[in-house]
Chain A
Amino acid sequence: MKFTWTEEQRAFADSLESLLAASDTVGVARAWAEDDTAPGLALWSRLAEQGVNALMVAEDAGGMGATGVELVIAFEALGRHAVPGPWVESAAYLPVALGTEALAGELAEGAIASVAVAPHVPHALDADLAAHVFFVDAGQASVATIGERLHSVDNTRRLFRVSSGAPTALSGDLEAAFDTAALATAAQLLGAGERLLADAVAYVKQRRQFGREIGSYQAIKHQLADVRIALDFARPLINGAALSLGSADATRDVAAAKAFTAEAAYRASRVALQVHGAIGYTRELDLSLWIVKVRALVTAWGTPAHHRGQVLDALVRAGA
């Protein structure tokens, strides 16, 4: 029983953190939103060199066959730094869905792919940049036909309408792939929530009104304390679900982590905006990237209602 990172896992987290902290990810994300994708694609390659894209690809297919713990370490970092691109699609869902197919090996090397999974993931992220775009409906996969560009509340999420095209086979476990993607999304939400809290705390320590820092007022303190508490309890749910991937409880545990973390991160976004006041309501402030991203991720890869339903189904079944 050691419910904490190993030395290797900590080193992996540290190396991603130092890479991303030095990569002007805010600039990358803002450019991505304006369709200037070159900086983002360069960052994609650097992260692929660090092994992020290979984590969930089976060793037989040329990947690392890493555990869910490494997955959530990587996606928390991506969320904390608002890294744009079809990461969940290329590095979480498809590596599992493809199983040992050759394409999985390409993904491990850094190929860009995207996917829509009806009904929970109706649109495909960055379909115009992806070498491979799939559409999965009722367990049936096809090569997607790409339609019009759609506009997300998070403008770094470049969504495209897709429809089913020529049937194709995804030989991996599609349910496990969805669990993996939902867990990766939950980890992104955790990272985003932590970033929002950190920015909010830094702001209320220096902003002064009525002659003192606003962070000394209980009305501010208690809101931020509640965010700290919510995120502190989201993290063990995510780590527990990461350990549970591949087990009979995986869907239940991932669903619990996603539903809870979505609420915690959303609370972080609302509180961060509120304690910033009007400056927080500007596009110019970097905080805006995370505020809208959290709202988009709350419903991405399964709405809270869907995930709560998954948990309840599992519990009721277990007692039947």
Chain B
Amino acid sequence: MDLDLSPSELEFQAEARAWLAANVPAEPLPSMDTAEGWVLHQEWEKKLTDARYSVVSWPTEYHGREASLIEWVVFEEEYYRAGAPGRVSQNGIFLLAPIIFEHGTKEQQDRFLPTMASGERVWAQCWSEPEAGSDLASLRSTATRDEARGGWVLNGQKTWSSRASFAHWGFGLFRSDPTAARHAGLTYFLFPLDAEGITVRPIAQLDGEAGFAEVFFEDVFVPDADVLGAPGDGWRVAMSTAGNERGLSLRSPGRFCAAADRLVDLWRAHGDAQPQTRDAVVDAWIRAQAYRLYTWGTVTRLAGGGDMGAAGSVNKVFWSELDVALHETGLDLLGAEAELESRWTDGYIFSLSGPIYAGTNEIQRNIVAERILGLPREAKGAGK
């Protein structure tokens, strides 16, 4: 057992650290969910791409550098330690790209991955519907076959679509076979958000910014070339744990370690005035450290050919609760000044979404209990 980086990994780390030190904007960029911030975040992605740091673990032909999983985690640690901007393209890079690598055709990979990597084309997820949240498989938006044009016609409504207010393309599941059972008969589609028949209505989030949107579909035509995986196979495609070998379904520990270090800095400045926060400061740092070490264990397992299994659910509950606790503690340290807008209020408001998005923590706990502990599934509700 060891935690040592190899000479080439150390070299990669030093290179990344030096580049970030020289290139990360001195002042935090404005929020990516504003028109001004959006442009600046896209420019930052371009800069990352030119230095081949936007998708280090991807193949060279798609702007990557074929970095190993270990190097990917190292890069993420350096990235957040350097205080670099949030990734405006993350929904594409982290959620969609693994699916395209696993299920996409070569033509789709060539067509979609380079501009996703460079941030020129930003992707928004279109999963939830007004009546399909945690119970995603109950979604009702439809895809109707149009044999004459060689494609499908989408109708319905998606909501809570992150980045959709400014993004260029979307991805999501639609019901292509109304006669099939819940999870069957769904198809995975890719579509430009400025397509005829699509209306995007931004929704102000808790912080007032348009971080997500409703997306309405009225007879939107999508050609067969933009179906991901086989028609009717969308659920399996969307739920596949694809891309583990690229680390893309891991949540980088770098962000939490960097935030925990900032919290310790805050304690140095304000701890004397708020001594009751002591345990919470220490616990946040310990939990960030636990998350970092846990990730190295996961990386070791994946590198040895293992898979994530349900560990992603263990992960998600842990980091999302850590993120909230960390920012709550930061605000407690700021005392009566805490309510004034700052990096800590921004981080706090953002952290509150963590236990909800990407599968609520209640759903994740069900998964941990059923798939890891082997507890019996709950009897289904009598709703239908």
List the interface of chain A (C-beta within 8 A of B): 1-6, 9, 69, 197, 201, 204-205, 212-213, 215-218, 220-222, 224-226, 228-229, 232-237, 239-240, 242-243, 256, 259-260, 305, 308, 311-312, 315-316, 319
User: Which residues of chain B are within 8 angstroms of A218 by Cβ–Cβ distance?
Assistant: 362, 365-366, 378
Closest to A310 in B: B282
Given contact pairs A1-B70, A218-B362, A243-B2, A229 touches B317 in the complex (Cβ within 8 A): yes
Which residue of B290, B311, B362, B373 is within 8 Å of A260 (Cβ)? Answer: B290
The reply to whether the CB of B358 lies closer than 8 angstroms to some CB of chain A is no
Q: CB distance A225 to B296 under 8 Å?
A: no
Complex Cα–Cα for A240 and B293 (A): 7
If A4-B301, A212-B379 are given as contacts, then 4 extra A-B residue pairs at C-beta distance below 8 Å, sorted by A number, are A1-B9, A201-B373, A243-B1, A308-B279
User: Which residues of chain B are within 8 angstroms of A235 by Cβ–Cβ distance?
Assistant: 297
Q: CB distance A236 to B374 under 8 Å?
A: no
Q: CB distance B375 to A204 under 8 Å?
A: yes
Which residue of A5, A216, A311, A316 is within 8 Å of B377 (Cβ)? Answer: A216
Complex Cα–Cα for A318 and B378 (A): 49
The reply to whether the CB of B6 lies closer than 8 angstroms to some CB of chain A is yes
Q: CB distance B289 to A225 under 8 Å?
A: no
How distant is B207 from chain A, measured CB to nearest CB, in Å? 28
How distant is B380 from chain A, measured CB to nearest CB, in Å? 11
Complex Cα–Cα for A6 and B379 (A): 42
Top 8 nearest A-B pairs (CB, nearest first) are A236-B293, A221-B369, A225-B368, A225-B365, A215-B375, A233-B290, A216-B376, A3-B296
How distant is B43 from chain A, measured CB to nearest CB, in Å? 33
Closest to A222 in B: B365
Which residue of B281, B285, B297, B376 is within 8 Å of A213 (Cβ)? Answer: B376
Complex Cα–Cα for A222 and B361 (A): 10
Complex Cα–Cα for A1 and B303 (A): 10
How distant is A62 from chain B, measured CB to nearest CB, in Å? 25
Which residue of B3, B70, B285, B370 is within 8 Å of A311 (Cβ)? Answer: B285
How distant is A236 from chain B, measured CB to nearest CB, in Å? 4
User: Which residues of chain A are within 8 angstroms of B206 by Cβ–Cβ distance?
Assistant: none
Q: CB distance B1 to A3 under 8 Å?
A: yes
Given contact pairs A2-B1, A4-B297, A240-B3, A215 touches B376 in the complex (Cβ within 8 A): yes
Which residue of A5, A69, A205, A256 is within 8 Å of B289 (Cβ)? Answer: A256
Complex Cα–Cα for A258 and B368 (A): 25
Which residue of B1, B372, B378 is within 8 Å of A5 (Cβ)? Answer: B1
List the interface of chain B (C-beta within 8 A of A): 1-6, 9, 70, 264-265, 267-268, 278-279, 281-283, 285-287, 289-291, 293-294, 296-297, 299-301, 304, 311, 314, 317-318, 362, 364-366, 368-370, 372-379
User: Which residues of chain A are within 8 angstroms of B300 by Cβ–Cβ distance?
Assistant: 1-4
Q: CB distance A201 to B375 under 8 Å?
A: yes
User: Which residues of chain B are within 8 angstroms of A256 by Cβ–Cβ distance?
Assistant: 285-286, 289-290
- 9 examples of A-B residue contacts, CB within 8 angstroms: A1-B299, A3-B297, A4-B301, A197-B373, A213-B376, A218-B366, A229-B368, A308-B282, A311-B285
Complex Cα–Cα for A263 and B378 (A): 29
User: Which residues of chain B are within 8 angstroms of A225 by Cβ–Cβ distance?
Assistant: 317, 364-366, 368-369, 372-373
Which residue of A224, A311, A315 is within 8 Å of B375 (Cβ)? Answer: A224
Complex Cα–Cα for A4 and B293 (A): 11
Which of A204, A220, A228 neighbours the largest number of chain B CB atoms within 10 Å of its CB?
A: A228
Q: CB distance B318 to A236 under 8 Å?
A: no
User: Which residues of chain B are within 8 angstroms of A259 by Cβ–Cβ distance?
Assistant: 282-283, 286
User: Which residues of chain A are within 8 angstroms of B265 by Cβ–Cβ distance?
Assistant: 319
Q: CB distance B370 to A221 under 8 Å?
A: yes
Given contact pairs A221-B370, A232-B294, A237 touches B286 in the complex (Cβ within 8 A): yes
Given contact pairs A243-B3, A312-B282, A222 touches B296 in the complex (Cβ within 8 A): no
User: Which residues of chain B are within 8 angstroms of A201 by Cβ–Cβ distance?
Assistant: 373-375
User: Which residues of chain A are within 8 angstroms of B314 by Cβ–Cβ distance?
Assistant: 228-229, 232
Which of A1, A9, A259 neighbours the largest number of chain B CB atoms within 10 Å of its CB?
A: A1
Given contact pairs A1-B9, A308-B279, A311-B282, A233 touches B287 in the complex (Cβ within 8 A): yes
How distant is B296 from chain A, measured CB to nearest CB, in Å? 4
Complex Cα–Cα for A221 and B376 (A): 9
User: Which residues of chain A are within 8 angstroms of B293 by Cβ–Cβ distance?
Assistant: 3, 236-237, 239-240
Complex Cα–Cα for A240 and B370 (A): 29
Complex Cα–Cα for A6 and B1 (A): 6
Complex Cα–Cα for A305 and B278 (A): 10
Q: CB distance B1 to A316 under 8 Å?
A: no
Complex Cα–Cα for A94 and B338 (A): 49
Which of B291, B368, B379 neighbours the largest number of chain A CB atoms within 10 Å of its CB?
A: B368
User: Which residues of chain B are within 8 angstroms of A69 by Cβ–Cβ distance?
Assistant: 1
